[in-house]
Structure 1
Amino acid sequence: MKKYDSIIIDDEPKSVKLLAHFLDQYCPNITVTNTAYSFKDAIQIIQNNTPEIVFIDIYLKEFLAFDILEATKHLNFHIIFISSYDKYAVEAIKYGPVGYLLKPFCIKELVLSVNKAIAKIESEATLKKEEMEIIAIANGDKVKVIKDKDIIFCESSGNYTLFHFNDGSTFLAAKNIGFYEEILPSNMFFRIHRRYIVNLSYIESLYKKDGGYCKLKNDITLTISRRKQEKLQTILNLK
């Protein structure tokens, strides 16, 4: 069974625990990788974990969920709102959620929302596979047209992304790595770390020591974040 990474953001620990329990019982293909109880933690966890689905409470003490979503809008994930109130439902629509769940949770609505999110994820994955092999990357007035297969890996450089090619050349593109994570074919590229997206065909070996890293065919070594190691092994049919 394919698993989908999710996080829960809610300032009520009991609510987090209950939702995690329901997901475990009724949505076995959803993995809760982390939880957050505050605005600051939520931002950090979303950026570091790149979840596919985010369950987020509308009201977090002095902040609203919308503040968090505005701060992470450059990242790609599906939103399921949870709330004790329905008064924010209209404002929530503009964020394109796949669900708006009122507390106490309705199991049927939870499952429907999760299934809707999974359907969207699968649809997006299919579209990515059908994308053309050629993409254009730009920096200022300079635009470089490249083939996907020529990219070894992409490296985050603040709001920019450094592309490394199989001929040894590089190109600094004027968009962040999250943008390219969305447009590069998911069947060919995988984000192994918040800093790196790697072309899977260039991976030569994986190592668990020193925190985990991979060696590419050109002897480049890249760190693999701990939470990405298992998923990468599954993609490479090592598990």
Structure 2
Amino acid sequence: MIRAVLIDDEPKNNRILKLMLEEFCPDVTIEGQADNAAAGVQLVQEVKPDLVFLDIEMPYGSGFDLLDQLKPIHFEVIFITAFNDYSLKAIKYSALDYLLKPVNIDELTAAVVKATQKVAIRNVNERIEALLYNLQKPQQAVQKLALPSKEGYVFVLLSDIMRCESKGGYTTFYIKGMEKVLASKNIKEYEPLLPDDLFFRIHNSHIVNLNCVKKYHRGRGGYLEMEDGTMIEVATRRKDELMARFGLRS
């Protein structure tokens, strides 16, 4: 069983979520509820839950403030929010989950399944640290991305990613000063998380960091030579846009 608490400043939301969990997520038991960040901190310290359903915007401190006070974190987090803003992208970067109000049943059950799996991994501290780091720099490329691996997660600065290569349902990340990381997700899932001003998809199977391009070799589509010496083909249909990104004509 997963022991959970609900922290939301609107009691009605807590009641509805509790009913949904009881009906559709029988492996989750609700051990307590709180209606603000301060009470939430006390509740978590007393109950020591496996999972916290946490509203972001609350009186007397946000959900992020609550996490800051409780570090090191020993529980999983599913954020509940009515606001679709930059913080949600930061949450995604950090491999954490969120649900938009009103909560959808299918999304709730899927999030609970993922949280249940992560409880066994118990590496949430690093993901929370990555989230809080990203929230401090929401508009900058100096952010950390959580890459799922067999052992857990690898955290890398976006600016250190030289290129990504897709093979099947996996993506290999080539990172400055590190061994390559094989992540268990398709490249399409990572593309929205890689800033457009820094990364460019030159081929169905390749995304490159434009700051790591050393040379362009002419051809029908041409080839990019990366700083590590790798040669990568440019898809013909992507050539013109690539040249434009460097202020050049093809």
Structure whose CA Rg is larger: 2
TM-score by length of 1: 0.48
